[in-house]
């Protein structure tokens, strides 16, 4: 009988294996596509099962090859991992579907699918890794795959952007590796659970090591998750990638590195550190800067995809802000925002990709009247944009609510003010998109809606935006458990 205890490793293995088989069957594109989608679907089902199991029975620990920690490799699926992996698998399944049915943007389709599969496998791996070196390995796989799915478009800009991303990302990896080495020096362990226990004893003896490790990690994972001012690679990379890649990168990849950061800094090094070092203040300042500066940059963009990319910088700031406010509701808000931003940003990138493909327009000022030519697509964009602004009734409002409440709980009313200010600024950059699309003179009548198969992901994501906006209680238990775990 199929035992659920193997499900975590199966998720990673399924995606990795599919990633290797898909290029082999590239001659039979239909088979490759079926395999690609099938792997995504299987992993989604598994992640639902795992999440249900974790909610019911608590954390699952899987010893790879039967070797227990500290010597063997373990996968740890706690509420946090189950939640994020659920987000990754569902959102990526939607993106898989889009990649298969959307008009072709890349030359080697099978190769592209393989890269996406590797990237997704690595993301699941990062989230579930129980030992810090495995985490690093998965971070490396995901970084390289992420660079590749930008360059795969083959245009001059995309190659340039991906090269810049590669260099900065490699610097980030170096920082991360160095900090892992420093932590290993102090603890003698790579397993995060054992590391935490040892650190409680030895951290006092080697304060400089821990401090340096933390600094390198903030920079290393900060670069990868595009925390301002380490975000400089992001706008070009996300704006010049193929549609499905942009959605994947903006919606999921940056967040996985945040998850990795939380895992190491909060859950391994321990919260006590935050009261000893000014790390919390540094993160708060960086997050605030991300929110303000990202918004200002976004306001001046006319290119839609660049606008969305800068908005991602802002949203990363939201998530870091929530985590560093350190009140229960703020952390819940940040955890919510991981899901909600994934939904809405994926929705927006996919929908905008559709618009660009159907009309050839890349700028907001060119969109005049397109809303009447492509009613469904623009209805989806409108919902996504309203959600980004945080209008009640959409999912974006929920995370805004929790983050703002959390800021007040933490006694930091100024950050609640900051969140609201950023909400206003996002109205300033998102609403012109909607307004120009619906009002003003008519667009050329040749523009039309894409096929239903392409619209399906957009509709599904839009419904998700509405659903979580009105009925957030469905996922609340998992979010609560996750936040409690982080705040432990």
Partner 1 sequence: MLLIFQTPVLAVIIPLVLFAVIYLVERRSWRLRNALAVLAPLVSFLLLLSNYPRVIAGDFVFIEFPAILPPLGMSFSIDYLSLLVGLVVSLVWFLVTIYATEYMVKEHAKNRYYPFSTLTLAGTMGVILSGDLFTFFLFFELMSLSAYVLIVHEETPEAMRAGYRYLVLTIAGGLALFFATIAVFEIAGTVTFAPGGFIAEVSGLAILAFYAFLIGFGIKAGIVPLHVWLPEAHPVAPSPASALLSGVMLKTGVYGLMRVVFNVFGYEGIREAGLDNSMLVLAAITIFLGSAVAISQEDIKRRLAYSSVGQMGYILLGIGLLQERALIGAIFHIFAHATMKASLFLAAGAVIHKTGKRRVSDWTGLGKEMTVTMLVFTIAALSMIGIPPLVGFVSKWELALGSLDAGNWGFVLLLLLSSMMNFIYYFPLIQNTLFGKQQSTEGQARKSPELPWKMLAPMVVLALIILLIDLFPQNPALDLAKRAAGALFLGVH
Work out whether 428 is an interface residue with partner 1 (CB under 8 A).
Answer: yes
Tokens of 49: 């099962």
- 116-124, 159-167, 313-321, 471-479 -> range binding partner 1 (CB under 8 A): 471-479
- With CB under 8 A as the contact rule, the residue among 171, 296, 470, 484 that binds partner 1 is 470
User: Could you say whether residue 92 binds partner 1 (CB under 8 A)?
Assistant: no
Q: Kindly state the smallest distance separating residue 311's Cβ from partner 1, in Å.
A: 16
420 binds partner 1 (CB under 8 A): yes
375 binds partner 1 (CB under 8 A): no
Among 66, 445, 473, 488, binds partner 1 (CB under 8 A): 473
> Whole-angstrom Cα distance, residue 299 to residue 373?
26
Work out how close the CB of 411 gets to partner 1 at its nearest, in angstroms, rounded to a whole number.
9
Residue 375 C-beta: closest distance to partner 1, Å: 11
The SS3 of residue 227 is coil
Of 133, 178, 184, 431, the residue at the interface with partner 1 (CB under 8 A) is: 431
Q: Rounded to the nearest 5°, which phi and psi values hold at 77?
A: -110, 95
Instruction: Judge contact between 431 and 385, C-beta under 8 A.
Output: yes
Binding residue count for partner 1, defined by CB under 8 A: 29
Q: Coil, helix or strand for 59?
A: coil
Q: Does 401 bind partner 1 (CB under 8 A)?
A: yes
| Residue placing its CB nearer to partner 1 in the complex, 333 or 457 | 333
Nearest to 122 by CA among 96, 144, 97, 100: 144
> Which of 64, 391, 456, 460 forms a contact with partner 1 (CB under 8 A)?
391
Buried-state track 73-102, b at ≥16 Cβ within 10 A, e below 16 = bbbbbbbbbbbbbbbbbbbbbbbbbbbbbb
Q: Is 408 in the site for partner 1 (CB under 8 A)?
A: yes
In sequence order, the β-bridge partners of residue 191 are 131
Q: How distant is the alpha carbon of residue 335 from its chain centre? A: 11
417 binds partner 1 (CB under 8 A): yes
Determine how many CB atoms are found less than 10 A away from the CB of residue 471. Answer: 11
Least distance (Å) between residue 416 CB and partner 1: 6
Residues 6+ apart with CB under 8 A from 257: 126, 139, 221, 224, 225
Q: Binding segment for partner 1 among 271-279, 295-303, 315-323, 415-423 (CB under 8 A)? A: 415-423
Regarding 299 and contact with partner 1 (CB under 8 A), the answer is no
Query: 278 or 392: whose CB is closer to partner 1?
Result: 392
The token pair that represents 470 in the structure block = 């009105």
Q: Which stretch binds partner 1 (CB under 8 A): 46-54, 84-92, 188-196, 419-427?
A: 419-427
CB of 423 to partner 1, least distance (A): 6
Out of 103, 188, 375, 440, which residue is the one contacting partner 1 (CB under 8 A)? 440
Is 463 a binder of partner 1 (CB under 8 A)? no
Residue with smaller CB distance to partner 1, 131 or 332: 332
389 counts as binding partner 1 under rule CB under 8 A: yes
Residue (245 or 387) nearer to partner 1, CB: 387
Binding segment for partner 1 (CB under 8 A), chosen from 78-86, 156-164, 256-264, 435-443, is: 435-443
Q: For partner 1, give the closer residue by CB, 230 or 344.
A: 344
Q: In whole angstroms, give the CA distance from residue 267 to residue 265.
A: 6
The smaller minimum CB distance to partner 1, of residues 204 and 375, is found at 375
According to the binding rule CB under 8 A, does residue 398 interact with partner 1? yes
Task: Return the number of the residue (271 or 405) whose C-beta is nearest partner 1.
Answer: 405
**Helices within 109-191 (DSSP H only):** 109-128, 132-151, 156-187
Task: Give the whole-angstrom CA distance, residue 179 versus residue 395.
Answer: 36
Return d(Cα 332, Cα 322) in angstroms, integer.
8
Residue 393 interacting with partner 1 (CB under 8 A): yes
Closest CA to 90 of 342, 416, 366, 352: 342
Question: Where does residue 450 fall: left (phi above 0), alpha (psi -120 to 50 degrees), or beta otherwise?
Answer: beta
| 487 exposure class (CB count in 10 Å sphere: 0-12, 13-18, 19+) | middle
| Rama region for 439: left / alpha / beta (φ>0; ψ in -120 to 50; rest) | beta
117 neighbors 244 (Cβ within 8 angstroms): no
424: contact with partner 1 by CB under 8 A: yes
- Least Cα distance to 212 among 257, 176, 170 occurs for 176
Site string for partner 1, 333-372 (x = CB under 8 A): ----------------------------------------
Pick the closest to residue 347 from 484, 198, 211, 469 (CA basis): 469
405 near partner 1, judged by CB under 8 A: yes
In this structure, are residues 150 and 199 in contact, taking their beta carbons and an 8 Å threshold?
no
Tokens 């590749």, located at residue: 148
With respect to partner 1, which residue has the nearer C-beta, 13 or 401? 401
Contact set with partner 1 (CB under 8 A): 389, 391-393, 398, 400-401, 404-405, 408-409, 413, 416-417, 420-421, 423-424, 427-428, 431, 435, 439-440, 470-473, 476
């Amino acid at each position: 009988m199929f035992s659920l205890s193997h499900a975590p490793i199966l998720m990673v293995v399924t995606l990795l294996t599919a990633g290797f088989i898909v290029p082999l069957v590239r001659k039979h594109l239909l088979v490759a596509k079926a395999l690609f989608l099938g792997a995504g679907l299987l992993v989604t089902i598994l992640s639902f099962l795992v999440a249900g199991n974790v909610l019911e029975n608590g954390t699952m620990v899987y010893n790879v090859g039967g070797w227990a920690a500290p010597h063997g490799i373990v996968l740890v699926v706690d509420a946090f991992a189950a939640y994020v992996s659920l987000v990754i698998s569902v959102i990526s399944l939607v993106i898989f579907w889009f990649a298969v049915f959307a008009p072709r943007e890349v030359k080697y389709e099978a190769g592209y699918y393989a890269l996406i599969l590797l990237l997704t496998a690595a993301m699941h791996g990062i989230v579930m890794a129980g030992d810090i070196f495995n985490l690093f390995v998965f971070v490396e796989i995901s970084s390289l795959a992420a660079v590749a799915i930008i360059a795969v478009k083959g245009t001059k800009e995309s190659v340039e952007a991906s090269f810049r991303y590669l260099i900065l990302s490699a610097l980030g990896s170096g920082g991360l590796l160095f900090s892992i080495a420093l932590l290993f020096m102090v603890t003698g362990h790579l397993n995060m659970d054992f590391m935490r226990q040892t650190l409680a004893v030895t951290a006092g003896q080697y304060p400089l090591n821990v401090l340096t490790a933390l600094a390198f990690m903030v920079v290393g994972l900060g670069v990868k998750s595009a925390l301002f001012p380490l975000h400089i690679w992001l706008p070009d990379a996300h704006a010049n990638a193929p549609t499905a890649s942009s959605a994947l990168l903006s919606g999921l990849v940056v967040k996985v590195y945040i998850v990795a950061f939380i895992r190491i800094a909060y859950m391994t090094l321990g919260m006590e550190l935050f009261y000893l070092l000014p790390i919390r203040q540094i993160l708060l300042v960086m997050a605030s800067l991300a929110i303000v500066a990202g918004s200002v940059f976004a306001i001046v963009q006319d290119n839609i995809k660049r606008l969305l990319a800068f908005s991602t910088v802002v949203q990363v700031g939201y998530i870091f802000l929530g985590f560093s406010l350190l009140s229960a509701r703020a952390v819940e808000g940040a955890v919510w925002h991981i899901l909600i931003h994934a939904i809405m940003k994926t929705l927006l990138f996919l929908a905008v990709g559709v618009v660009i493909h159907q009309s050839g327009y890349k700028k907001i000022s060119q969109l005049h009247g397109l809303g009447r030519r492509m009613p469904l697509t623009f209805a989806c964009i409108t919902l996504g944009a309203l959600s980004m602004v945080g209008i009640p009734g959409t999912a974006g409002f929920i995370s805004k609510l929790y983050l703002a409440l959390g800021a007040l709980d933490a006694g930091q009313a100024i950050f609640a003010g900051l969140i609201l200010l950023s909400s206003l600024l996002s109205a300033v950059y998102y609403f012109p998109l909607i307004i120009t699309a619906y009002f003003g003179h008519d667009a050329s009548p040749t523009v039309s809606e894409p096929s239903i198969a392409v619209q399906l992901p957009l509709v599904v994501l839009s419904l998700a935006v509405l659903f979580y906006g009105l009925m957030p209680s469905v996922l609340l238990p998992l979010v609560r458990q996750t936040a409690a775990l982080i705040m432990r």
